[in-house]
C-alpha cells in the first residue's frame, strides 16, 4: 500500500508540474501570439504605405508626359521652326 501511495503521489506531482508547464506555455503562447500579431500588423501597414507610394509614383509618371504628347510637341516645334526660317529668308 505504501508503494502505491508513493507512486500515486509521484504521478500526481508529475501531472501537476505538467499542468503548470502547460499553463505557462499557454500564457506565453498568448503573449507570443500578440507579439506576432503586432509585428504582422506593422508589416501590413508598411506594405500598404509602400503600395500607396508606388501607386502615386506610377500615376505621376503616367500623367507627366505621354509619348504621343512628346511627338506632337516635336512636330509643333518643327512647324514653328520651319515657319520662322521661311519668314526670315523672305
DSSP states along the chain: -HHHHHHHHHHHHHHHHHHHHHHHHHHHHHHHHHHHHHHHHHHHHHHHHHHHHHHHHHHHHHHH--HHHHHHHHHHHHHHHHHHHHHHH-
More reliable by pLDDT, 86 or 26? 86
Q: What is the pLDDT of residue 81?
A: 93
Task: Say if 85 falls within a structural domain.
Answer: no
Can you give the residue range of the structural domain that contains 49?
2-64
pLDDT in tens, 2-51: 667 777 778 888 888 888 877 777 777 777 777 778 888 888 888 888 88
Give yes or no for residue 52 having a pLDDT over 80. yes
Task: Say if 87 falls within a structural domain.
Answer: no
Task: Say if 76 falls within a structural domain.
Answer: no
Number of domains in the chain: 1
Q: What is the pLDDT of residue 1?
A: 58
Q: What is the pLDDT of residue 77?
A: 94
- Phi and psi dihedrals of 66, rounded to 5? -90, 150
Task: Say if 89 falls within a structural domain.
Answer: no
Global pTM value: 0.43
Amino acid at each position: 500500500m505504501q508503494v502505491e501511495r508513493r507512486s500515486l503521489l509521484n504521478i500526481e506531482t508529475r501531472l501537476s508540474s505538467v499542468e503548470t508547464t502547460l499553463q505557462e506555455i499557454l500564457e506565453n503562447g498568448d503573449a507570443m501570439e500578440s507579439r506576432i500579431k503586432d509585428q504582422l500588423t506593422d508589416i501590413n501597414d508598411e506594405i500598404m504605405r509602400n503600395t500607396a507610394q508606388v501607386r502615386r509614383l506610377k500615376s505621376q509618371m503616367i500623367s507627366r508626359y505621354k509619348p504621343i504628347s512628346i511627338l506632337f510637341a516635336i512636330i509643333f516645334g518643327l512647324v514653328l521652326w520651319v515657319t520662322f526660317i521661311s519668314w526670315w529668308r523672305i
